[in-house]
C-alpha cells in the first residue's frame, strides 16, 4: 500500500479529480452473441446507463476476458446482485460517467463458441476488431472504443490495439505481460511450474463451466457463482452446451510447456512461446499511436519489468505506473509495512484516474509524451520520470567477501570461495511474487530463519540512506558438482534488530548463462540471455563459470544503520521446477581477486 | 466485489423476508427485490442452507417456488425440522457476509466445513 499522504507526483492525483456523474439512475444489463467473421459466436454482456435517450451516444469500454464475462450467481446473491458483480470496476462507475461497457468471453472460453490453441492466438485478437465493428454500429455508440483490463484482460487490451481499428482511442493494460517466456513462464529460464499448472487447471475448468475449482483458489467467487452466465437469448442453453463441447479441444499452457527448456523450442502444435508475446509486435503497436496507460507493481512476478520494457521500447503516448500492491491491486504488498491492510490508491481512486485518462483520449487532446510514475518503498514517495533509468542512477558495486560479508572493496585474496550444498527444501512459500499471479496476497515475512538455509552476504550498517531504483545486476563466479542447476538471488534489507525484509529477487538457470552479443529483440537493462537451445551451456563440473543476470526491478530506500543482504539459493520448491531434476549439487562461489563475485546496485545519487 | 461487502448485509436483510407458520409447519421466503428470470430451483435452496447456513443433516422438506410472487414455500414434516431451518434463516445473512469478509481477508478456516458444490 502506498502512503495515502504521498500526494506529490501521485499519478492518481495528477491524472485529475473525480469526473462528474452524468447518469444517476444506475445501469441496465443485456447480453447477446456477436457473430465473428467465421461465424463463431462471441458471448457479450452490455452495460448502459439505465436512462438513455435514443439521441444520446456514448464511448464504449471494451473488456475481453477468459475468466467469464459475467457469472450465473447462486442464490441469494442472484436476488440482489448483478451478473457482472465480480467485474472490476463496478460498471456503475463507468456508466454513470457516460461510458457503455461491453464485456466479452474471448473465443473458446466462457459462453463463447470456438476453441483455442493457446492464449491470445491470432483469431482471438482479430475478434477484437469484429467486436468493435459491432459496437460502433449500435445506436448508443458514439463510434469511440477504449479497452482495459487487469492481467489476462489487460494483455487482451494491448493485443487488441494491434488491430489498428480507427475507433480504438486508448488502451489500459494493467498487470500485463510483454514477454511470456521471461515475465511469467520461465523467469531466468526457470520454469514457473506451479503457476503454469494451476493456471491451466483453472482455465480448463472455467472452460468446462465447472465452478468447483474456485473453492480453493477464489473462495469468494466460488461462494457466489455457480457458473458462466448464459446469453439471454440462449433460453434452452443449446448454444452454451455446444460452446462447452467446442472448448474440449482447447489447449492449455502447462501441457504445452512443462517439458520445455528453451525459448525457441516448438510447442506441440508447432507454435512457439513467442506467439503469445507482445514484444514482436512493437512496430505494429507504435504505428497505431494508441495512447497507453499501463500499471503494475514492483512486487508482481516479472510483470514489473514489463512496465519498464514497454516504457523504454514503445513510442506510443504513455503513462506508466509502478506501485507496491499485489497482482491486480487487491492487497497491499509493501513488505516494509506488513500491518497495512488496504491498498492505496483505493479502487475508486484508481478508477477515477482511468476514466480521466479515457476522457482525455476520447473527448480531449489525448496525452502527450511518456511519463513513468513509480513509488519508492520505505521513502514512501511517488516519483516521476520521462526517462528510464531515472536521472541520477549509478551502479554501485558490492563484492561478496570473507565471512559472508558484502563489501565495497575488491577482494585482494588470491584464492577463496564459499561452498553451498543446494537445499531443495528452500522456498519463498505460496504468497510470493509468482503466486500472486493467481490474485493472492504477497507475503514474504521476516526472512531471518529462511536465510539460514541459504548462502548469504551481508554488508556493514549503512552510513546513510541509500535509494535503489532499477535492476540490480548479479555477477557470480560459480562452479558446481553438476552440469545444471538454478541460482536464485534475493536482495534484502536488515534493520537494527536483525529483521530481514525481502526487496526483490532474480533467477537464472545456469545452462542459460551465455551472454549474447546479439541485439536483444527489445531494449533491456540487464545482461541479455537468449534462452535459445543453441546457446545452452551446461556447466563442466568443477570448472568456474561466470553467471551474470539481473534481478527484477525495484525502488526502495535502505535506511541508515540498516544492512544490505543478498541471499543465494538453488531452488524455490513451491514455485519453480527443480534443476537438476535429480541429484544434489554443491556449488562454489568464488570471491577472490581473480574471480571477484559482486552485485551492482542501481543507486540514485541525490543532486546537491 | 469488495466494494459491495459493507452494504451486502443490509441488502440481504432488506431484500429477503421470511415468515414462519408454525401451525402449518411452513416457512416462506419472500424476495422483495424484483428478480430477472426464475427465482430459484428447489435444490438451490438446499444448497444455500448448506453453503451459507451450515446445514449438515438431511431434513425432509417440500420446496415450492412461486416465481411470479417471488416466494419460496418450504413445508416441513415436524416442528423440530422447522425450527432447525428457522434457526438457520435467522442467522444466514449475517453468516454469509461474515464468510465473505473472512475469505476476502484470506482467512479460509471455515472453508473446509463447507461441502463442495
Q: Is A518 exposed, middle or buried (0-12, 13-18, 19+ CB in 10 A)?
A: exposed
Rounded to whole angstroms, the Cα distance separating B39 from B67 reads 5
- Asked if residue A542 and residue A418 are part of one domain, the reply reads yes
Chosen for mutation from A76, A221, A341, A440 (greatest number of chain B CBs closer than 10 Å) is A76
Chain A residues contacting B via beta carbons under 8 Å? 74-76, 78-81, 85-86, 88, 90, 211-212, 215-216, 219-221, 223-224, 226, 330, 347-348, 441
Closest to B59 in 3D by CA, of B71, B67, B49: B49
- Cβ of A220 within 8 Å of Cβ of B103? The answer is yes
- Cβ of A219 within 8 Å of Cβ of B15? The answer is no
Using CA of residue A259, residue A263, residue A266, residue A272, what is the dihedral sign?
A: positive
For residues A182 and A304, the answer to whether their CB atoms sit within 8 Å is no
- Cβ of B96 within 8 Å of Cβ of A76? The answer is yes
- Asked if residue A407 and residue A353 are part of one domain, the reply reads no
Strand B61-66 relative to strand A370-376: parallel, antiparallel, unpaired? Answer: unpaired
Known catalytic membership, residue A471: no
Using a CB-CB cut-off of 8 Å, the residues of chain A touching B47 are 74
DSSP-derived letter for residue A74 is: P
Rounded to whole angstroms, the Cα distance separating A531 from A277 reads 15
- Asked if residue A225 and residue A182 are part of one domain, the reply reads yes
Domain boundary pick from A385, A401, A433: A385
Domain containing residue A186: 11-385
Backbone torsions φ then ψ of A426, nearest 5 degrees:
-65, 140
Cell of A352: 477515477
* Residues forming a β-bridge with A505: A490
Residue A486 forms part of a structural domain: yes
Cell of B113: 466445513
CA A331-A333-A335 angle, to 5 degrees, is 150
The whole-number pLDDT of residue A249 equals 97
Nearest CA in chain B to A342: B105
- Asked if residue A153 and residue A82 are part of one domain, the reply reads yes
Q: How far does Cα A264 stand from its chain's mean position?
A: 22
Average pLDDT per 10 consecutive residues for chain A, totaling 608 residues: 74 83 93 98 97 95 96 94 75 93 97 96 96 98 97 96 97 97 98 96 94 84 92 96 98 95 90 92 97 98 98 97 95 93 84 92 94 97 96 97 97 96 97 94 95 97 98 98 98 98 98 97 98 98 98 98 98 98 97 98 83
Domain boundary pick from A385, A407, A440: A385
Domain boundary pick from A316, A350, A385: A385
Rounded to a whole number, what is the distance in Å from the CA of A87 to chain B's nearest CA? Answer: 7
Residue A217 forms part of a structural domain: yes
Structure confidence by residue, pLDDT tens digits, A285-295: 999 999 999 99
Average pLDDT for B56-66: 95
SS percent in chain A: helix, strand, coil, step 5: 25, 30, 50
Rounded to whole angstroms, the Cα distance separating A264 from A242 reads 36
- Asked if residue A291 and residue A194 are part of one domain, the reply reads yes
- Cβ-Cβ contacts under 8 Å for B98 (sequence gap 6 or more): none
Closest to A115 in 3D by CA, of A234, A230, A248, A231: A248
- Asked if residue A575 and residue A507 are part of one domain, the reply reads yes
Cell of A597: 563475485
Closest to B17 in 3D by CA, of B6, B37, B32: B32
Angle between helices A152-161 and A122-136 (to 10 degrees): 70
Count of domains in chain A?
Answer: 2
- Asked if residue A473 and residue A354 are part of one domain, the reply reads no
* Predicted-complex ipTM score: 0.96
- Cβ-Cβ contacts under 8 Å for A555 (sequence gap 6 or more): A298, A322, A374, A375, A376, A377, A383, A467, A468, A469, A470
Instruction: Count CA atoms within 13 Å of residue A88 on its CB side.
Output: 19
- Asked if residue A400 and residue A363 are part of one domain, the reply reads no
Strand A370-376 relative to strand A381-385: parallel, antiparallel, unpaired? Answer: antiparallel
- Asked if residue A366 and residue A401 are part of one domain, the reply reads no
Question: pTM score, two decimals?
Answer: 0.93
Cell of A331: 492487497
Q: Does B55 touch chain A (CB under 8 A)?
A: no
DSSP-derived letter for residue A289 is: T
Using a CB-CB cut-off of 8 Å, the residues of chain A touching B111 are 215-216, 219
Rounded to whole angstroms, the Cα distance separating A391 from A403 reads 35
Q: How far does Cα A495 stand from its chain's mean position?
A: 29
* Residues forming a β-bridge with B71: B30, B66
Using CA of residue A508, residue A511, residue A517, residue A522, what is the dihedral sign?
A: negative
Residue A6 forms part of a structural domain: no
Residue A1 forms part of a structural domain: no
Structure confidence by residue, pLDDT tens digits, A50-65: 999 999 999 999 999 9
Rounded to whole angstroms, the Cα distance separating A422 from A389 reads 34
- Cβ of B48 within 8 Å of Cβ of A76? The answer is yes
Rounded to whole angstroms, the Cα distance separating A207 from A205 reads 5
Structure confidence by residue, pLDDT tens digits, B76-89: 999 999 999 999 99
Cell of A19: 469526473
CATH of the domain at A149: 3.40.50.1820
Instruction: Count CA atoms within 13 Å of residue A400 on its CB side.
Output: 28
Q: How far does Cα A67 stand from its chain's mean position?
A: 17
Closest to A568 in 3D by CA, of A421, A461, A468: A421
Mean pLDDT, chain B, integer: 93
SS3 A104: strand
Known catalytic membership, residue A327: yes
Residue A2 forms part of a structural domain: no
CATH of the domain at A600: 2.60.120.260
- Cβ of B33 within 8 Å of Cβ of A215? The answer is no
Q: What is the DSSP string of A511-536?
A: GG-PPP-SPPSS--SS------GGG-
- Asked if residue A60 and residue A194 are part of one domain, the reply reads yes
Strand A71-73 relative to strand A598-604: parallel, antiparallel, unpaired? Answer: unpaired
- Asked if residue A342 and residue A420 are part of one domain, the reply reads no
Residue pointed to by grid coordinates 436483510: B13
- Asked if residue A415 and residue A318 are part of one domain, the reply reads no
Residue A321 forms part of a structural domain: yes
Amino acid at each position: 500500500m502506498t502512503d495515502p499522504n504521498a500526494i506529490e507526483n501521485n499519478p492518481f492525483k495528477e491524472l485529475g479529480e473525480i469526473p462528474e456523474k452524468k447518469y444517476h439512475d444506475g445501469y441496465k444489463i443485456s447480453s447477446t452473441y456477436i457473430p465473428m467473421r467465421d461465424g463463431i459466436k462471441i458471448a457479450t454482456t452490455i452495460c448502459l446507463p439505465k436512462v438513455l435517450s435514443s439521441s444520446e451516444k456514448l464511448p464504449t469500454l471494451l473488456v475481453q476476458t477468459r475468466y467469464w464475462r459475467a457469472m450465473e450467481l447462486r442464490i441469494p446473491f442472484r436476488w440482489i446482485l448483478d451478473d457482472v458483480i465480480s467485474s472490476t470496476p463496478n460498471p456503475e462507475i463507468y456508466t454513470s460517467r457516460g461510458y457503455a461497457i461491453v464485456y466479452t468471453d474471448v473465443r473458446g472460453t466462457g459462453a463463447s463458441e470456438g476453441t483455442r490453441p493457446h492464449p491470445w492466438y491470432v483469431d482471438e485478437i482479430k475478434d477484437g476488431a469484429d467486436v468493435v465493428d459491432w459496437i460502433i454500429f449500435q445506436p448508443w455508440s458514439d463510434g469511440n472504443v477504449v479497452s482495459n483490463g487487469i492481467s489476462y484482460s489487460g494483455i487482451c487490451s494491448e493485443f487488441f490495439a494491434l488491430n489498428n481499428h480507427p475507433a480504438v482511442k486508448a488502451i489500459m493494460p494493467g498487470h500485463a505481460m510483454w514477454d511470456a517466456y521471461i515475465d511469467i513462464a520461465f523467469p531466468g529460464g526457470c520454469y514457473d511450474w506451479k503457476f503454469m499448472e494451476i493456471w491451466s487447471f483453472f482455465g480448463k475448468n472455467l472452460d468446462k463451466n465447472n465452478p468447483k475449482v474456485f473453492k480453493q483458489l477464489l473462495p469468494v467467487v466460488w461462494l457466489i457463482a455457480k457458473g458462466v452466465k448464459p446469453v439471454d437469448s440462449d433460453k434452452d442453453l443449446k448454444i452454451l452446451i455446444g460452446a462447452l463441447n467446442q472448448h474440449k479441444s482447447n489447449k492449455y499452457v502447462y501441457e504445452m510447456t512443462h517439458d520445455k527448456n528453451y525459448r525457441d523450442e516448438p510447442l506441440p502444435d508447432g507454435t512457439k512461446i513467442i506467439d503469445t508475446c507482445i514484444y514482436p509486435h512493437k512496430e505494429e503497436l507504435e504505428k497505431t499511436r494508441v495512447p497507453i496507460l499501463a500499471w503494475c507493481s514492483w512486487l508482481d512476478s516479472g510483470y514489473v519489468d514489463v512496465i519498464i520494457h514497454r516504457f523504454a521500447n514503445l513510442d506510443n503516448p504513455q503513462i506508466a505506473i509502478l506501485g507496491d500492491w499485489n497482482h491486480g491491486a487487491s492487497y497491499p504488498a509493501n513488505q516494509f509495512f506488513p500491518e497495512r491492510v488496504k491498498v492505496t490508491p483505493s479502487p475508486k481512486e484508481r478508477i477515477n484516474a482511468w476514466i480521466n485518462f479515457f476522457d482525455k483520449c476520447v473527448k480531449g487532446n489525448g496525452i502527450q509524451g511518456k511519463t513513468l510514475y513509480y513509488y519508492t518503498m520505505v521513502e514512501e514517495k511517488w516519483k516521476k520520470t520521462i526517462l528510464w533509468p531515472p536521472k541520477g542512477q549509478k551502479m554501485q558495486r558490492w563484492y561478496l567477501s570473507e565471512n559472508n560479508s558484502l563489501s565495497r572493496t575488491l577482494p585482494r585474496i588470491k584464492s577463496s570461495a564459499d561452498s553451498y550444498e543446494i537445499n531443495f527444501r528452500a522456498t519463498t512459500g505460496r504468497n510470493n511474487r509468482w503466486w500472486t499471479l493467481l490474485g493472492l496476497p504477497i507475503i514474504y515475512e521476516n526472512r531471518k530463519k529462511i536465510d539460514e538455509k541459504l548462502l548469504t552476504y551481508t554488508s556493514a550498517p549503512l552510513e546513510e540512506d541509500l535509494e535503489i531504483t532499477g535492476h540490480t545486476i548479479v555477477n557470480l563466479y560459480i562452479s558446481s558438482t553438476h552440469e545444471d542447476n538454478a541460482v536464485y538471488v534475493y536482495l534484502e534489507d536488515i534493520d537494527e534488530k536483525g529483521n530481514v525484509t525481502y526487496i526483490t529477487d532474480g533467477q537464472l538457470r545456469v545452462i542459460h548463462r551465455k551472454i549474447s552479443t546479439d541485439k536483444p529483440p527489445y531494449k533491456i537493462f540487464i545482461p541479455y540471455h537468449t534462452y535459445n537451445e543453441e546457446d545452452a551451456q551446461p556447466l563442466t563440473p568443477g570448472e568456474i563459470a561466470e553467471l551474470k543476470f539481473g534481478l527484477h526491478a525495484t525502488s526502495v530506500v535502505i535506511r541508515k544503520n540498516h544492512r544490505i543482504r543478498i541471499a543465494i539459493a538453488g531452488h524455490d520448491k513451491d514455485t519453480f521446477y527443480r534443476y537438476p531434476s535429480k541429484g544434489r549439487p554443491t556449488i562454489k562461489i568464488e570471491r577472490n581477486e581473480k574471480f571477484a563475485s559482486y552485485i551492482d546496485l542501481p543507486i540514485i545519487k541525490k543532486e546537491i | 466485489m469488495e466494494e459491495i461487502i459493507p452494504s451486502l448485509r443490509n441488502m440481504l436483510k432488506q431484500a429477503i423476508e421470511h415468515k414462519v407458520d408454525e401451525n402449518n409447519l411452513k416457512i416462506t421466503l419472500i424476495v422483495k427485490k424484483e428478480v430477472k428470470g426464475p427465482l430459484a430451483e428447489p435444490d438451490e435452496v438446499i444448497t444455500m442452507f448448506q453453503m451459507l447456513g451450515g446445514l449438515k443433516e438431511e431434513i425432509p422438506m417440500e420446496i415450492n417456488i412461486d416465481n411470479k410472487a417471488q416466494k419460496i414455500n418450504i413445508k416441513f414434516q415436524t416442528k423440530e425440522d422447522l425450527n432447525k431451518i428457522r434457526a438457520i434463516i435467522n442467522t444466514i445473512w449475517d453468516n454469509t457476509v461474515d464468510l465473505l469478509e473472512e475469505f476476502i481477508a484470506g482467512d479460509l478456516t471455515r472453508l473446509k466445513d463447507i461441502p463442495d458444490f
